[in-house]
A and B are shown apart, each in its own frame.
Chain A
Amino acid sequence: MSVTARRSLLAMLVPLLALVVWLQVQLDPMRQRYQPGKVTNIEIGTQFVAATLIGLKEVVAGLLWVRADEFFHSGNYAAVIPIVRIVTWLDPHQIDVYDTGAWHLSYNFTDSQERSDRRYIPPAQALYREGIANNPDIYDLYFAQGWMNFHKVLDFKKAIEAFTEANKRPAVDPSTGKKRMRPQFVGHTLAHAYRKDGQIDRAIEQWRQNIKDNERYVRESGDPGEQVMVDVARNNLNQLLREKEERSRLKPVKDAKFEAQWQFLGPRKFRVFGTLDLPTGARVRLVLRDKDFKEQEFQKFSWDIDTNQTILIDDLYVRDGRFSRTIDIERDVSIYPLKAEQYVMTFTFNPLTAPDFVQDVIGFKGEGLADQKYLVVRNGVRMLEKSFLIKRNQLL
């Protein structure tokens, strides 16, 4: 090769290198969109970085999740949550992991009497928020988040917010990878949430919308089996209209004679009891918490909860106008550390969460309740509530 040829080849390297660097500068900001697991916020072992070298990040994530499943089945719930963190870091689009992880957090850490540890609700919410931020275009995690608030937390406003978002978004067919209509129950659940929140007119409106949506779905999917959802929506709408009509005539005449009391039985053991003259199946919610209890806030997902907090929530079933339960938290010191000096114990009867046959008596929002004692009106809902301020030594 001639000297001139060598020189020109060498000279060619300069613009080529410049081109490569320029392309890299172009690629960098785009690449981050497609590559999960930002290194800047590594909180976990770098051994997982190794997996990224050979392009197996998602495989590692998947296999770790299988391992987590084994932990779950062996009852080792605490081992599951750190894996959730790693898996969602390796692959932030494995939505089932967020869902299952949050479900573990909110349901599966329970005390010896099967009450879940409420301190894990904020981490679960944070995990859903993160999952949604990473997967904002499909209905799945909005719905899951809504369901936790609807079913576990009983925060219907939050549930409505999440279900509304879910009800705007599509699902994805795992076989084809294509977007498709979300399941028809999403709109139904939203209507239920409106109703639970006492927004009866919005619920009615939503049922009407559901009927239209479900009918369209039957037409478009060509699946006559989906007709059942239309029928369900019609039934629910009719029943709600009937209930609304009937309950609108309710006058505050029913005195439920609500009364609640507690009794020390021994260290960390007490009995709660009282009366509520409503049909069997009504529930009174018991909350025992630090006087200064404030729900922890998590900017981003972490399972590092404040272990000094105490919050106990239980539902007391009313039978023949009475309720009574022995709360024994002697074996659950880690869940209920009782470290604060003062506690608030609250008994609440909330008509919104009452079953239909109870609402038949007192209305959606307690319109029929005639109790004077303990009546509080919150957001237009007439509830019954009695609280005790308790000192630490009264419980120990």
Chain B
Amino acid sequence: MTAWVIARNTFGEAIRKKILNVFLILALGSVLISLTFTFLEFRQQVVILKSFGLGMVQFWGLFIAIIMGISLIPADIEQRTIYTILSKPVKRYEYVLGRFLGGAITLAVNVALMGAAFLLVFLLKVNTRALESLASLDFGPFWTSWVWSGEVPGLIGGIAMVYMKLLLLLAVAVCFSTFATVTVNFFLSSAVFIAGSISSVTEAMSKSPNTPIVLRWLYAAVHYVVPNFGNYDVQNPIIHPEVPAADLSLYMWKAVFYGLAYTIILLVVGVLVFERKEV
């Protein structure tokens, strides 16, 4: 309950943060830009638009997640607002949980806004013909030719995967922020993100007979122990709905489960460290 109060307040604080809003605006802008992709074949245009849109949601989301994650707790310490909070009947774990939860909600709202803009742009793109009929003020053909693309649910799934990835990154940054300074944490979290994003490399190297055995263990450790952000890179089958992707939704559920489990680990570690932290 207390955690929820802090979460709500954190959200209110975050959505007023200029820098996060700048990223959001940049994201919306870059999603809109993809409407100007009018080269090659129509099919190619749609593929690039989908890929670009999902990519932009993720790209700008990364900034939002990492900048928010590294500063959520340190900002309170820096500005000494934490004194008045922790001297109230707030348990330290409730505070950590509340800050994280507030960040998670902020992230969700941001991703939802970017995702909605992307879906809108996508629908406009695939309905180019319907829109052209509008220009001639002829609404009949507009309604008959407008399509509600069957790809929308898949794309929403893709956006959800992006969100899970960002949530996990947020948890990493929040966990590290309980012991690292903001600057150190920025590089630390980024490094973990990179190491965790090249899953296919780490997996291949850990299994390759050409890798020295010690390195193989190292790669395996990185692959299994570092949060595996690469798990959420399933945009390819989402961008190409014609490609059969067997068990994709099962996979996505497992990836969500993985992300939640890992988020809990990171929060537990963060709480354990923060319990002993001198603020």
Contact = CB atoms under 8 A, between A and B. Distances in A.
Nearest to B148: A176
B241 A172 contact: yes
A59 B42 contact: no
A138 B247 CA distance: 19
A281 interface: no
A28 interface: yes
Given A49-B198, A55-B54, A27 B236 contact: no
Interface string B40-75: 111110111011101100110010000000000000
B93 interface: yes
Interface stretch (A15-23, A253-261, A319-327): A15-23
Contacts of A39: 198, 200-201, 204
A97 to B, nearest CB: 8
Contacts of A32: 200
Interface string A244-273: 000000000000000000000000000000
Interface stretch (B98-106, B173-181, B225-233): B225-233
Interface extent on A, as a size class?
35 or more
Contact of B59 (A54, A57, A96): A54
Contact of A54 (B62, B150, B254): B62
A94 interface: yes
A316 to B, nearest CB: 36
Contacts of B44: 62, 65, 94, 96
B255 interface: yes
Contacts of A135: 242-243
A294 B19 CA distance: 65
Given A34-B245, A40-B208, A53 B198 contact: yes
A55 B59 contact: yes
B107 interface: no
Nearest to A21: B224
A116 B40 CA distance: 25
Given A20-B262, A63-B48, A35 B268 contact: no
A371 interface: no
Interface of B: 39-44, 46-48, 50-52, 54-55, 58-59, 62, 91-93, 126-127, 147, 149-151, 154, 162, 193-194, 197-201, 203-204, 208, 223-225, 228, 230-231, 233-237, 239-248, 250-251, 254-255, 257-258, 261-262, 264-265, 268-269, 271-272, 275
